[in-house]
Structures are given as structure tokens and as C-alpha cells.
Amino acid sequence: MKIAYISNLIEPTGGDLILYHHVMGMQKLGHSIDIYFNQWKDSSRFKPWKEIEDQIIFFKDIDHLRKLSKKDYDIVVANGLTGIMYTIHLKPKNYIWFCQNFDPYLFGRKENIDRVYTTNQKFLLYSHSLADIIENHYGKKEISFCKNGIDYSKYQPFQKKKNSKSKRVCYMVAYHHPTKGSRLANKVFTELKKRGFDTVEISIEGGPLSSTTEYYNNPSFEKKIQILSNCDVLLHASYFETWCLIVMESMAVGTPVVGTNSLGIKEYTNSENSIILDHRDPIRMCDEIESICSDNEKYEKIQKNGITTAEKYDWELIMPEIESSYLQLI
């Protein structure tokens, strides 16, 4: 296939990292790929895309993009809200939206956002909960589901056994948006500090929380994973996630997850590999964290099952299935 990917900013977020793996995976499977981006948000902070910068075609605006993208593609893949807006203006013969968020939750029910969701008919999604939300708001769509993944081999060197003397809990988000549950995380951290825990936070923008004792602003991938590995539990506090790369990363290094049911994480979490609560009760969450940290048998079971789960989602293993998801939309 000849495939074009159209997006806006290249940002150091989970969504753009997932897009990178789609691009590289489809290219490795023999497909011809063109990548169109508007600009870097910060080129120094996103190593994967930086390494293939010579393959990226940068455009200034929609008119510039229209001149660049006159090839006859089998499929045009729009990434993100701005990416689909550009693509709808281009009117290619076959395009899909690789939708990784429900934008009305992030930006509000605005006329231009509603129009995009109403107009677009073909979606590539990795979240069944996201599909339900889209169709509940905007009617029946043509949806192809794909798995999501991680580069598992990069996490293996950081896998560890629990340090029984350690009481470190990590909260990690890209941005402190209300949907990420920062207020709940802060309440949990406040209570955990009273119980003798160290509270560790990693974020790109908006931190730290007032109850964070150890803060890391946008560390490198290696540093981030080392910090996560050195913690005993990952706190997940989001209201809604379409998948949540952070939770899968934590499983991959053997740091058990205690968190809220943010819907998308139920694609791969269960009672055997994590502790996921339906109620947003900070005291209950602290009790669960304290319980797993004091019960070595329970800790090791969840840790082992989390690692096993993460291994099944390695990009190399799931790319053939992702390719099939693309083919369903041609």
C-alpha cells in the first residue's frame, strides 16, 4: 500500500510515540510511507521522530500541504484533531482517522469539533470504550480496531524485584489536564505521605502536585523508566483514557498498578495483573497501595502477570494484526 500520515505537531506524548510505531511497523512490512507534519513542538525532546527526521515532510499550511500531497495514496491516515481537519480539507479518495482521544472531553463541545466527528466516517481505534462514546454522540461509524503496543525489549533491562524496605509511589502524566485526575492523585499523595510513603511525580507540563516529594520534569526515556522501576507502585488516577501507555509501561518494568477504572485500560488490565477500582475513593486507593506493598505474595503475583501481559503487546508481535486493521478500511 501507499500510505500518507498527516498530523500537526510532533510532541513528546504517548500518542505521537504510538503513531511513530505505526509508521515504522508498516514501513517494515513493505508499505510505501509518506509522513506529513506541520512542525516540531520541541525537536530536542522526542528522540524517535528525531532519528527519522529526514523522512518527514513538513508543511506550512493547508495550501502547502495540498501541493505536497498530490500522490495517489491507497489510504491517508489522519492523526489527531488537527490532522483530521487538514485531511478533510484535502478530500483524498480514501482517508481514515487514527483517533486516540475523545476531543470533546479535552476541548469542550465546540461546533468545529462536532463537525469533524460528524463528517468523518472511517475510524482506526484501539479502544472499544472510545468507539462507544463516538457512536453514542455522533452515530454509526465504520470502525476498525487495532491493538496498541510497547517496545517491550527496551523495558526488560529495568525489570526488578520489589525492595521490601521501599515505600515509593509514582504518579506519571504527560500534562495535568482535568481528565488525568490530578486532584485525586494529590489527595492520595497527601494521605500516603501521612502513612510514610515517598510520593514521586513525572510530567511534561503542569507539575508538581503540592503533595509530591520528588519531581521529575520531562526526563529522557531511560531516566523515566529507571524512576518508574525504582518505585513500588504506579498510581493511575485518570477519569478517561483510550488505552494509557503509562500503565502498560509500568507493567513492563514490574511496577504494579493501583488505579481507577478509566475505561481504556480495561483493554488489557484485570484482577490478576493490576488493582483497578471503580470508585474514586482516595482512602480506599491508599489502603490498596499499602496492602500490596505489605503482602509480598500478592505483590509478586501482580508483578509477574503484569510483565507477562506487557510482553504480549510488543510491537513486533502485533504489527501484522495492525496491518490487517488498515486493510479493512480500504
Mean pLDDT by 10 residues, the chain (330 residues): 94 88 97 95 74 93 91 94 95 95 85 94 96 96 96 94 84 91 97 98 93 95 95 97 94 97 96 97 98 95 97 97 96
pTM above 0.95, yes or no: no
> What does the block give as the cell for 214?
520528588
Domains 2-149+315-327 and 152-312 share a fold: yes
Residue 226 is predicted with a pLDDT of 96
Residue 45 is predicted with a pLDDT of 62
Task: Please give the CATH architecture assigned to the domain spanning 152-312.
Answer: 3-Layer(aba) Sandwich (3.40)
Domain range list for the chain: 2-149+315-327, 152-312
* φ, ψ for residue 240, nearest 5 deg: -145, 130
> What does the block give as the cell for 327?
486493510
Residue 279 is predicted with a pLDDT of 94
Residue 182 is predicted with a pLDDT of 96
Name the CATH topology of 2-149+315-327: Rossmann fold (3.40.50)
